[in-house]
Amino acid sequence: MPASPIRKLVPFAEAAKKKGITIYHLNIGQPDIETPPEILAAVRNSDFKILEYSHSAGNESYRKKLVEYYQSVNINVDHNEIMVTTGGSEAILFGFMSCLDAGDEVIIPEPFYANYNGFAVSAGIHIKPITSNIETGFALPSIEEFEQLITDKTKAILICNPNNPTGYLYSREELEVLKAIIKKHNLYLFSDEAYREFCYEGEHFSAMQLEGAEDNVILMDTISKRYSACGARIGTLVTHNQEVLQTALKFAQARLSPPGFGQILGEAAVDLPSDYFEGIKAEYRLRRDTIVKRLNNIPGVFCPNPGGAFYVMASLSIDDADIFCQWLLNSFEYNGATVMLAPGTGFYGTEGLGKSEVRIAYVLNVEAIHKAMDCLEKALEVYPGRIENQ
């Protein structure tokens, strides 16, 4: 079971804090946006004498409420096509275990969310990475590249849209390319859409909107980022494929039920005002524009402009991202502060890739981002492993 490459630097950050150093946490996707008070109030004001198990697929009232939410984003589903999960993580794991046998393969564009590795190991399956490149902004690789990887063990393709860690927003045209592949080779398409609301360049097109691929598409979703409610641990697995849902239900029954208070919170979230996301999107867009501009103004740094989510991948003039990110915490400070980043290597399945790249989560306010970028710029000037003219 692999350790989390995102969290492995935590002991070094804790040691730096004990020395009185301020750390700008750009390493993890924990938003600083406040959880809506209305949905917290729904939990505080809940009135029942027994905190019971819910249905293994989740409370029917919540699943019916989710139908309203999905309709609002042009996804037409019935409440019997929705399973409530313990975070998006469990939705991904249930999808893997329901659709693939031990030894089967799933193709995932890299760089990809590091915990996909852990879910794959848990399910006994193998990830086959297909490389997207920073030079193209991490656009979807070609059909030919996908087909070169497909074997008789290949059962699925997984995308995250918008993408974590790159922020890339897959277009409708790219989703249609994936549809052609999965139909031709009879594969599942897993679509992790945790960041659906945060699209800045173009509109989000869901895999669930692909016509003619209803039995192939499995949507994995979560309220964690959407409502800044990561600790609620509520996600969903959504599909028109009843055979997949009935299989997933067996795994859901084995863990009994998803969190009760989290479902109350999630149900209340559907009733938030329709303009709730407008201000939040504007704030994230400002942060994105700020951090991309600051990064690209640093000599030797390249950062493509992402279309969604709240992450960027940047190429730095460094020898080894893992060493650099640890050095930032162990050996560097500027005005009593340093910055915590996630090494790019942890997001690649292909050995040797990502050594000069880092993922940065723009989950702090603009003032903090400027201070963090001041730290990074100064750090790159004095880092012993700096590579010139990269």
Residue the block writes with tokens 């994995």:
220
Per-residue tokens: 192: 């992790």
CB 11 within 8 A of CB 324: no
Among candidates 163, 159, 221, which has minimal Cα distance to 187?
Answer: 159
Query: The domain 10-34+276-382: what is its CATH number?
Result: 3.90.1150.10
The DSSP element (H or E) to which 345 belongs, if any, is: none
Per-residue tokens: 79: 């409440």
Which residues on adjacent β-strands are paired with residue 107? 128, 157
Which residues on adjacent β-strands are paired with residue 106? 127, 156
Exposure string over 128-156, b if 16+ CB within 10 A, otherwise e: bbbebebeebbbbbeeeebeeebeeebbb
d(CA 152, CA 230): 37
Domain boundaries, the chain: 10-34+276-382, 37-269
Query: The domain 37-269: what is its CATH number?
Result: 3.40.640.10
d(CA 88, CA 192): 8
Report residue 60: phi and psi, to 5°: -60, -35
List of residues 6+ apart from 384 with CB closer than 8 A: 327
pTM of the model: 0.95
What does the pLDDT profile of the chain (390 residues) look like in tens digits? 888 877 789 999 999 999 999 999 999 888 899 999 999 999 999 999 999 999 999 999 999 999 999 999 999 999 999 999 999 999 999 999 999 999 999 999 999 999 999 999 999 999 999 999 999 999 999 999 999 999 999 999 999 999 999 999 999 999 999 999 999 999 999 999 999 999 998 899 999 999 999 999 999 999 999 999 999 999 999 999 999 999 999 999 999 999 999 999 999 999 999 899 999 999 999 999 999 999 999 999 999 999 999 999 999 999 999 999 999 999 999 999 999 999 999 999 999 999 999 999 999 999 999 999 999 999 999 999 998 764
C-alpha distances (whole Å) from 22 to each of 26, 95, 196, 226, 327 are: 13, 40, 32, 28, 15
Per-residue tokens: 175: 């989703």
Residue the block writes with tokens 């400027």:
370
CA torsion sign for 174, 177, 179, 182 is negative
Among candidates 218, 284, 336, which has minimal Cα distance to 29?
Answer: 284
Among candidates 209, 223, 175, 190, which has minimal Cα distance to 98?
Answer: 190
